[in-house]
Amino acid sequence: MYTKAIKVILLLTLTAATQVQAHGIWFAQRATQTGLIYGVGADDLDMVKRLPLITDFAAYDENLTEVEAELAVAGPVVLVVSDWQPTVMTAELNNGIWSKTADGRWHKKGLDEVPDAVIAERTMKYAVHVKSKLNKPLGNLPGQKAQIIPVGGFLPEMKGDILQVQVLLNGNPVTGAAIKEDFVNDPDQTPILTDKNGMATIGIRNQGLNVVAAIIDGPSDDPAKVRKVEYLATLSFVLEHLPE
């Protein structure tokens, strides 16, 4: 379906690329409801203060028809609120411009203010969550500029199963996207890189919540301020456990 491949900017050596790390957003259950999480690994950081950074949110039923839903603050967490019990939820977070200097410090400024930065990037976060079984194959969803798609459109049911995924940026396959199979429980794993068709084969780690992440370095959208745009996309889903 997709014939044009986007090559990842080779700003890092292969060794450095295996150490790629960044925060992301994903959905997970919180007190029987679905929450939107910002963090990396076990770090569940302050999503409430980052709620104004959400630039897109949508929810869908099992037929991938959009349903009414909203994100709402509930104490220290952000929850999905809907009368429709959505099957799929998506979000986009614009984390703005960040620069890192040689001393290891991060600054919320661009190259125009930190000209000696070793890293200068705009960071965009995307999330797709599949809460239960779909009646239609999952494809590229509206608002998801960067997305991980299960090849064939459906997800496995058991831990240990193999899943082929494709990483897209603006609807096109991404060569060299860095995939982490278990972003929550093993964020430091050596990533799996997608091939020329944006494809990679991963193993399903958990009989429960799985959060797969893909990190893409795209071209700068403002060379005076950033050298690249970093996209981090997650695909999260839950595999059912045995009945009690």
List pLDDT tens digits, range 2-41. Answer: 334 444 433 333 333 334 458 999 999 999 999 999 999 9
* Residue 67 belongs to domain spanning: 6-237
Instruction: Establish if 178 belongs to a structural domain.
Output: yes
Number of separate domains in the chain: 1
Q: Is residue 242 part of a domain?
A: no
- Give the span between the Cα atoms of 121 and 242, in whole angstroms: 44
* 3-class SS of residue 189: coil
pLDDT tens digits, 38-61: 999 999 999 999 999 999 999 999
Radius of gyration of the chain from its Cα atoms, rounded to whole angstroms: 18
Q: What is the pTM of this model?
A: 0.90
In-domain check, residue 244? no
Is residue 83 in a domain? yes
In a domain, 143, yes or no: yes
129 located within any domain: yes
Q: Is residue 169 part of a domain?
A: yes
